[in-house]
Amino acid sequence: MLPNVLPSSAADHTPVLADEVRELLAVQRGETVVDATFGAGGHARLLSEDLRGTGKLVAIDRDPSVKQYFDRLKAARPGVDLRFLRGDFALVLSQLAGNGVKADAILLDLGVSSMQIDRPERGFSYATDAPLDMRMDPSSEPSAADIVNTWDERELAVIFKRYGEERYAGPIARAIVKRRSEREFTRTGDLVDVIKLAIPTPARFGEGHPAKRVFQALRIAVNDELTQVQTALPAALEMLRPGGRLAVISFHSLEDRIVKQAFAAGAKGCTCPPDFPVCVCGKQPELRLLTRKAVRPSAREIDENPRSGSARLRVAVKVAA
């Protein structure tokens, strides 16, 4: 067993569905692993341990603050070739695939990391008053404040409905536009107050925080999350060697639907119309599904880490070059 000499901020971080990811990716000694959403390095810590002192692990993240966790992991894994690439995971994966880089296992954990949520200055949480930001890469544009203060009422309502499945998207968008005509939004607390006042009183005391869905929608829009997933999946599949495994953890239905459809298309093979007597397209399946249904956290994991409750894991193996 390799030594685990990471600081508490990283070593104590519990990655979601860790045992399931480790079992299904089945990383072997000497392989090449890509953790495309490194975060605090929780999954990478376990996967790099399975490399058993050799092989390569490539860590990708757009957040510059995670480099400190990577440096500490690198110091704890002598013999393993660890490399950190900063940038949007979809762009970096596309560049790696374009350059012919190959991997045996790739992980995409699409959730916002706990360290981002727990740092108030990042503005991801509706539970703490903070600057209205939500950018995973602090140098990117736009911020959540930019969207709230400049997008028109219809655009706001569309993203609240589409990305947050917010029932009261229209009234909330209308209230935001009215409020910003008097004073621009700069704080998460201001936005939460407006959302609460814009929805019917009973809805303020329903399931979950009344601002949860709007904050989710803004975060997705700010970080272009769905486009990232749509771009990253084909690049990741191109990078995999035959027999390589791709694992994706999603945290809401929009992401999971994209992953599910991409995996199903890759595993389908023939695309001929169903009334054709024989296949003429010659298309062979590219993937074999290791998870027929999304793997969900156990009741025990949800009890220990409530943020894992919405996680869904899908894994596929590449069967064709």
In a domain, 244, yes or no: yes
Phi, psi of 110 (to 5 degrees): -85, 0
Q: What Å distances lie between residue 241 and 1, 43, 196, 231, 289, CA to CA?
A: 27, 21, 50, 19, 16
* Structure confidence at residue 56 (pLDDT): 97
* Euclidean distance between CA atoms 84 and 41, whole angstroms: 11
Verify that 106 and 189 share a domain, yes or no.
no
Give the chain's domain count.
Answer: 2
Please identify, among 165, 194, 223, the residue that sits at the C-terminal boundary of a domain: 223
Domain end call among 192, 223, 254: 223
**Is the pLDDT assigned to residue 7 strictly greater than 50?**
no
Q: What is the pLDDT of residue 4?
A: 39
Q: Is 101 exposed, middle or buried (0-12, 13-18, 19+ CB in 10 A)?
A: middle
Is pLDDT at 59 greater than 60 in this prediction? Answer: yes
Q: Do residue 108 and residue 232 come from a single domain?
A: yes
Percentage of residues of the chain with pLDDT beyond 90? 74
Q: What is the mean pLDDT of residues 223-234?
A: 94
User: Please, which residues have CB within 8 angstroms of residue 289's CB and are 6 or more apart in sequence?
Assistant: 263, 264, 267, 314, 315, 316
- CB burial of residue 90 (10 Å; 0-12, 13-18, 19+): buried
pTM, two decimals, is 0.86
Q: Are residues 190 and 134 in the same domain?
A: yes
Range of the domain at 144: 124-223
Q: Is 6's pLDDT higher than 50?
A: no
Does some domain include residue 79?
yes
Are 197 and 244 members of one domain?
A: no
What is the predicted pLDDT for the residue at 267?
93
Please indicate, yes or no, whether residues 140 and 92 belong to a single structural domain of this protein. Answer: no
The percentage of residues in the chain with a pLDDT greater than 70, rounded to a whole number, is: 91
In three-state form (DSSP H/G/I as H, E/B as E, the rest C), the secondary structure along 192-203 is HHHHHHHCCHHH
> Both 203 and 165 in a single domain?
yes
Task: Please provide the DSSP assignment of 166-195 as one string.
Answer: -TTHHHHHHHHHHHHTTS---BHHHHHHHH
User: Is 229 found in the same domain as 213?
Assistant: no
Asked whether residue 203 falls in the same domain as residue 259, the answer is no
Task: Judge whether residue 42 has pLDDT over 50.
Answer: yes
Co-location of 55 and 97 in the same domain: yes
211 plus 255 within the same structural domain = no
Average pLDDT over residues 296-316: 93
3, part of any domain: no
Question: What is the arithmetic mean of pLDDT over 185-207?
Answer: 89
Q: Mention every residue, 6+ apart, whose C-beta is less than 8 A from residue 106.
A: 33, 34, 36, 93, 236, 239, 240, 244, 245, 246, 247
Would 260 be classed as within a structural domain?
yes
* Residue 37 or residue 207, greater confidence: 37
How does the average pLDDT of the chain come out, rounded?
90
Whether residue 2 is contained in a domain is answered as no
pLDDT score, position 33: 98
Note the pLDDT tens digit of each residue in 60-119: 999 888 999 999 999 999 999 999 999 999 999 999 999 999 999 999 999 775 555 556
Let me know: does 21 contact 27? Beta carbons within 8 Å.
no
Q: Look up residue 102 and give its DSSP letter.
A: -
The whole-number pLDDT of residue 278 equals 80
- Domain presence at residue 1: no
CATH number, position 163: 1.10.150.170
Quote the pLDDT of residue 179.
Answer: 96
Residue 126: what pLDDT? 81
Task: List pLDDT tens digits, range 257-300.
Answer: 999 999 999 998 777 887 778 887 777 899 999 999 999 999 99
Residues 169 and 300 in one domain: no
**Is 130 a member of any domain?**
yes
> Which of 223, 245, 265 is the endpoint of a domain?
223
102/26 same-domain check: yes
DSSP 150-163: HS-HHHHHHHHHHH
- Write the CATH number for 59: 3.40.50.150
